A and B are shown apart, each in its own frame.
Chain A
Amino acid sequence: MNELKIEDLTCYRGDNLVLKDLNTKLKSGETLVIRGSNGSGKTTLLRVLSNFIKSYNGKILFNDHNVLEDANYRNCFNFVGQKNSLKDNLSVKNNLKLWEIIYQKNISYSKLLEDFNMSHLVERDVGSLSDGQKKCISLLRLNFTKSKIWYLDEPFVFLDEENSQILIQKIKNFNTNNGIVIITSNINLQNTFTNEIKI
């Protein structure tokens, strides 16, 4: 059983107060949707949780260990940001190969692309794909590590109805396997995920 706890989290970006006294707790199998207007600090919150931003007040505890002091924490989560992390001039296959090297995990590309019904795109240059297709491929990074937490920054942007449903199903499967998910979104997902906070 894993637990992620955020206690009195306050974060400034320059002189701007972005996050103020944020408190929440998530257990294995739960998904939290963070909603808020543009510039409200949703991405900042995910970057704080992913340990990219380390200057903040308050505490983030994963299984009662402060994430700033826990060297193993970086292997516990997977962060998919708004940028797709894809090289436009390379084929889908070569992009996946680069991730394979970084994550040091061999994976079957065709099986991986099957998730979003995109096996036929394996040899295509990423630059020639639509934004939605690029987003789907960027989300395939979630399969490269066996993480306990997923941080997904606006994952539904550019996705069509069918791929959104596939992603929702992937998140629910991850929850079933005791994974914790935090999503930022401008879209109302209350019918799908009940746990929601507004910042």
Chain B
Amino acid sequence: MFALLKRDLYLALYSSSSFFYTSSFFILVLIILPFLFGTNDVQLQVLFKGIIWIGLSLSILLTMERIFNADYEDGNLDIIIQRYPSLETIIISKFITHWIVYCLPLFIILPILSFLFYVSLDSFFLIFLNLFFGSLGMVFIVTFVSALTLGAKRTIFLKAVIVIPLFVPFLIFGTNLESWPILLALSMMSFVLSMYVSAYGLRLYVE
């Protein structure tokens, strides 16, 4: 599995812009806010808790094509499946890579953004925990949707229609600062579901 993980991380590194896509998108979504709602401290703090989830959802949604589709379209998925017969290994590796490449940069810039939005240190830690556990579950969800829709071309809107309702529980609990245990539980459920459904999707592709 580590070889596959290394390969995917190298691939992301070679296409180095990948690391900057989501974080720059995330920053831009947040920068728009003060223009729309003014610069009142309290208002910005309240908005921040909600808008970071919309930013995270969109970042994950817009990059979901890269989980399996890129390798499927150029034929690399055949090589990967031949070398790694355990589909679960492939799924976990793809999940970890996707999280590192597209979510980790958000956590790196989160302290700066929190500071800009006058978020207190206590709230920041809770927001950080919420986002961390929520992002895991959300990536699990896009992983299985991506595997299930493998081979379907130009279906980003269809995928969005499937994915967004599944994100709703994360968004509901994510905005409540004390609910990280619920997000952890949701992520664990998503993990179990994702392993089964992603493996089924990949098996459909192979067959």
Contact = CB atoms under 8 A, between A and B. Distances in A.
Given A54-B207, A87-B11, A98-B11, A103 B76 contact: no
Given A53-B207, A79-B82, A98 B10 contact: yes
A86 B70 CA distance: 10
Interface in B62-82: 70, 73-76, 78-82
Nearest to A71: B85
B81 A52 contact: yes
Interface string A87-102: 1111000100111011
A84 interface: yes
Given A52-B78, A85-B79, A87-B11, A101 B6 contact: yes
Band of interface residues on A: 20 to 34
Interface residues of B, number: 22
Nearest to B17: A89
A54 B207 CA distance: 7
A101 B7 contact: yes
A138 B75 CA distance: 10
Given A83-B74, A84-B74, A85-B74, A102 B79 contact: yes
Given A90-B14, A102-B79, 8 more contacts: A52-B207, A54-B207, A79-B78, A79-B82, A83-B73, A83-B78, A94-B14, A98-B10
29 contacts: A51-B82, A52-B78, A52-B82, A71-B85, A74-B82, A74-B85, A82-B75, A83-B73, A83-B75, A83-B78, A85-B75, A85-B79, A87-B11, A87-B76, A88-B74, A90-B14, A90-B15, A98-B7, A98-B10, A98-B11, A101-B7, A102-B4, A102-B79, A102-B80, A102-B83, A103-B83, A104-B3, A138-B75, A141-B79
